[in-house]
Structure 1
């Protein structure tokens, strides 16, 4: 039986939800050290093996907005527990897999659990005192970067010294621990005051449109950007998403309230989120390759996978270190300023990279600066979103914002992939991305980050309330729930 909300420690709740975010982020980098060997390990082609990564992306894109809406309707704690279940099950399936199909299924199940971060962020608004909300939001937002950064050297070390299956058994154990901690110590949040139906048609429409869009973006370079398959998927995505938008505007209880999403504060924050997601991911694609390319190329740094992970890890930790500063800046000047400043810091990091590409210490400095900016920006986004929507819509709105970041990272992967594939050099008879290719990719990241800063300055917000949050709608109760609320504890 879980403890009651009034007996829960705010610090403990935040720590557990941050641990959940770190665990979810770990799932995304878990297979990176195995990418070169997956085809051999699973007795399949390299093209088939790439679906081990794509399956997680697609499943997460579909599940995240659905989990957010269900959290608003039936309880965020309940949906947190439900989301942890596929993380555990998917990890076990992967650990037991000997072929590509069960591995893809397992990775898809892991993707279904990626809604834990937006659900956790939304739960904070229900259960924490207002004065602790800003710092806690920034901390949990940073947990994704910490998990991703720490996951890379951890996965590399495990894969290098033990069986690759150990990675997934560890992931299963961590996920199970997250579920137990949420069950025992995380209280119930608010649910919808009035009963509402879940928008199943909207979920199918959004899921179908996102799968077509992200599949075309992530696999377009393999299939050919002008191929019938890729163009057909883009066309299908456009048709499905337009039809979905029309449905959402007409249905009484939509999956995503597009009228709320159309409010300037929410709309511009989501647009900035796409751009920040792009700029965050572009450097994480470029820097690891530069670190690992042979020194004989003249610009590669010849690091092992393990060493590369260790060079990248401090960037994720910097996000955690900067999160309290971001919260203080949001409280003093508003989260709009924090988002703009964070985007500018990312742009500065990209600009610094141009003379520093040939040095491991230089690239470390670049990742530290870029990660600092990401930490500031990511901590500000949920605060802006929650300050503009009713409390009954926070999980859905945060999940949609998380989805926008994912769209940005997917587009970044496609754009950087195209740039590096076009600007190549011959090395040992094989084409490798050239130094100019890496520079162009970093310049694009810089430009996109500047675009994010410009969009952030356009976000219209009302005067900040306690804790730095923008004032919510007049009809919305801004006081976090202090008692057990509507959701029955299990």
Structure 2
């Protein structure tokens, strides 16, 4: 998916325009706001989903609540290679509009659903708009003047902190006053806003690939293989970890991925060129950041269940908080996440990004280890949250910076898309494993799965282990360029 431009190169020797001399400019500010919404859409939806899942599990009396979020993640993972290729061929804005429209249709199906199966269908369709985030990062390189590409990319990367601060209060108000149905309808509204902003204010990218055929076989092998593996892991508790069904699903998924590698090496225009993944600076960065970010994404659902599930002695070890109370308790963590993320963007110009990413991995590891023992009161949440918050800020801010330093400007879109794909896989697998561990110490009451305190404790230890692996993987990465050494891709004037 290497990209070439059909337009002429920007003349960097020409004098700056009046708008460039006077600052950001209204046009670029509106474009940046629109792309910010595209990047923040999935985190907002994930937060609403996390807060709503306890009420949804009880309402639909399901023991399969993990699939409420995993169906979306899997659909997004499956769609990402096709979406990134289509964006390179037909234009990034055009593809964002298409996947946002499809996502809106999925949101409507979920909001109108009367049973859990239909709800999952809607959430799966909505997952198609997940790749809007890496497309937005890629568009920052294409549609902003050269001097604004770096600041715009950093601002988009820091959106996780903004969502982390305001999102819990928003989702808490929606859940507490309008229930899970209100959350589902707010997802519809959020997607409509994203679609309207992109249509109105984001110009189309001038960057295109030469028209080629879509690698449908490779995409089906990749998506099908990953889905089979995650589904097998999710059902392992019920089937047995040595059962024929478990081994069949996981084995078939692994076989599909192996065949996918050979297919991608043989086709003329692969969805995911293997050449980029054979370069050590690239694959080590992708692996380390995917594991670190995947662990952080997985633990969000865990802590929301811990806070929002009812406290029923001998049945449920939840704290029984309201969504609004949960938002208040987590606010200090969100503030530290934002502050550290902003600081990390500046520090990455002077400090090796590996050091910052490794530090983030260490802080999250220590923080979740503390949380495994201290998670029963507001004060205990605050203690480990103030350690985890800076770690999350470092990991989420440094991830896109590491990719910028590891790939060439022409490969930036591919790098963002591949990292998003691997991060989605890690999130799906880690989340499924977290639910498996919690269910081992759980109870089913009137068709609803509840989790004991020991289940939450063990799951936090598991996430702690994931974060530790991410920190260790940083040691494998060779030095990548700092921000002040990197050449940002061709930008439109």
**Worse overlay, 66-75 or 127-136:** 127-136
User: Equivalences for 1:29-428 in 2 at 5 Å?
Assistant: 29-38=47-56, 41=59, 46-47=62-63, 51-144=67-160, 146-147=162-163, 150-162=166-178, 164-292=180-308, 294=311, 301-353=319-371, 356-423=374-441
Change (3 A) 1:220 1:307: farther
Change (3 A) 1:431 1:394: closer
Task: Give SS of 1:35's match.
Answer: helix
TM-score (norm 1): 0.83
**Worse overlay, 316-325 or 77-86:** 316-325
Counterpart among 456, 467, 491 of residue 481 in structure 1 = 491
Task: Give SS of 2:208's match.
Answer: coil
- Partners of 1:382 and 1:53 in 2: how far apart? 24
Give, in angstroms, the shift of residue 431 of structure 1. Answer: 10
**Worse overlay, 244-253 or 450-459:** 450-459
Change (3 A) 1:51 1:426: closer
Gap regions ≥5 residues in structure 2: 1-18
Gap regions ≥5 residues in structure 1: 472-477, 484-490
Query: 1:319 touches 1:372 (CA, 8 Å); kept in 2?
Result: yes
Q: Which residue of 1 aligns with 2:6?
A: none
Change (3 A) 1:480 1:361: farther
Query: 1:80 touches 1:119 (CA, 8 Å); kept in 2?
Result: yes
Q: Which residue of 2 aligns with 1:25?
A: 43
- Partners of 2:379 and 2:151 in 1: how far apart? 31
CA RMSD of aligned residues (A): 3.3
Task: Give SS of 2:349's match.
Answer: helix
Change (3 A) 1:132 1:355: farther
- Partners of 1:343 and 1:444 in 2: how far apart? 14
Change (3 A) 1:290 1:92: closer
Give, in angstroms, the shift of residue 323 of structure 1. Answer: 2.5
Query: 2:176 touches 2:322 (CA, 8 Å); kept in 1?
Result: no
Q: Which residue of 2 aligns with 1:488?
A: none
Counterpart among 457, 462, 477 of residue 475 in structure 2 = 457
- Partners of 1:195 and 1:159 in 2: how far apart? 46
- Partners of 2:145 and 2:391 in 1: how far apart? 27
Task: Give SS of 1:30's match.
Answer: helix
Q: Deviations over 1:238-280 (max 9, x none)?
A: 1100001111111121101111022111111121123213431
TM-score (norm 2): 0.83
Tell me the number of residue pairs that the alignment of Structure 1 and Structure 2 aligns: 467
Change (3 A) 1:9 1:321: farther
